Amino acid sequence: MDNVDIEEVRKRLEEAHSVAVLTGAGVSAESGVPTFRGEGGLWRNYRAEELATPQAFARDPSLVWEWYNMRRETLATIKPNPAHTALAMLEGRVEDFTLITQNVDGLHEMGGSRNVIELHGSIWRVRCTGCSAVTENHDIPIAIPPSCGECGALLRPHIVWFGEALPGDAITAAYGALERCDVLRVIGTSGVVQPAASMASVAKGAGAYVVEVNIELTPNTTVVDKTIAGKAAEVLPLIVGQNL
């Protein structure tokens, strides 16, 4: 981690009227939430890509629900880390602040962030496959197979799986923020899942200064103005300033 880079990013943020942040699984890694790709990305020999599809759910809803129950159990014991709280603190200082997250864990809201766009949904909401009603559900474990209180049909996680469209209102709000922001920070995402993978380019194309924070190089590294190599929970408090 380079202090000159940290200083430059801090200065850009101080001058910015509009800031957008895009986060991925890496921002929650230091809370103990496993990332999707890389080490620990497997569950009973399945890759996330094999379980997070409508086809997998149609084939074996109980298997997919067992996976979500395991993740709900893990998340129930987990707390936001200094990366989440630094982002909440930054929101309090910026005129126009939007946090776009691919994460479904709810840790940004728990850490105090308010203007959060959940691109891929939430693990704490369920949707009826019959009547489409969406409800909050914090049961651990959820009874398998879960059924809708209104119509009795099977419930599914209110999460965007591969091949499914992202919620239209989330996409509209996210692109609005990307197009008007002075600074975009891209934190802890491998940058391989679309459409989030293209968001750094969208903001860059609209004139933003784009900064990546990650422990590895990603496809975004060639797009951004600056990459800060390091753990989100260490880098973000330095940039936002609560450790200084």
Residue 190 interacts, among Zn ion, ligand BJW, none and using kind-specific CB cut-offs from 5 to 8 Å, with ligand BJW
Are 110 and 140 within 8 A, CB to CB? no
H/E segment holding residue 58: helix 54-59
User: How is 145-162 classified by DSSP, letter by letter?
Assistant: S-B-TTT-PBEEEEEPPT
Residue recorded with tokens 């879960």:
146
* Residue 120 known to be catalytic: yes
Q: Tell me the closest approach of the beta carbon of residue 155 to Zn ion, in angstroms.
A: 8
Q: Tell me the closest approach of the beta carbon of residue 130 to ligand BJW, in angstroms.
A: 20
Site string for Zn ion, 158-197 (x = CB under 5 A): ----------------------------------------
Closer to ligand BJW by CB, 66 or 96: give it.
Answer: 66
Binders of ligand BJW among residues 59 to 98 (CB under 6 A) are: none
Strand ranges inside 76-159, DSSP E: 96-101, 116-118, 121-128, 134-136, 155-159
Q: Is the peptide bond before 157 cis (omega within 30 degrees of 0)?
A: no
State the catalytic residue, choosing from 17, 84, 108, 120: 120
Q: How many chain residues bind Zn ion (CB under 5 A)? A: 7
Report the relative pairing of strands 18-23 and 96-101 from DSSP bridges.
Answer: parallel
Q: Which of the ranges 7-15, 92-100, 130-138, 214-222 carries the binding residues for ligand BJW, by CB under 6 A?
A: 214-222
Report the relative pairing of strands 96-101 and 46-47 from DSSP bridges.
Answer: unpaired
Sole binder of ligand BJW in the list 131, 144, 216, 243 (CB under 6 A): 216
Are 10 and 58 within 8 A, CB to CB? no
Alpha carbon distance 201, 204 (integer Å): 5
Active site residues: 120
Binding site for ligand BJW (CB under 6 A): 24-26, 29-30, 35-37, 48, 52, 102, 104, 120, 159-165, 188-190, 192-195, 213-216, 218, 231-232
Binding site for Zn ion (CB under 5 A): 128, 130-131, 148, 150-151, 153
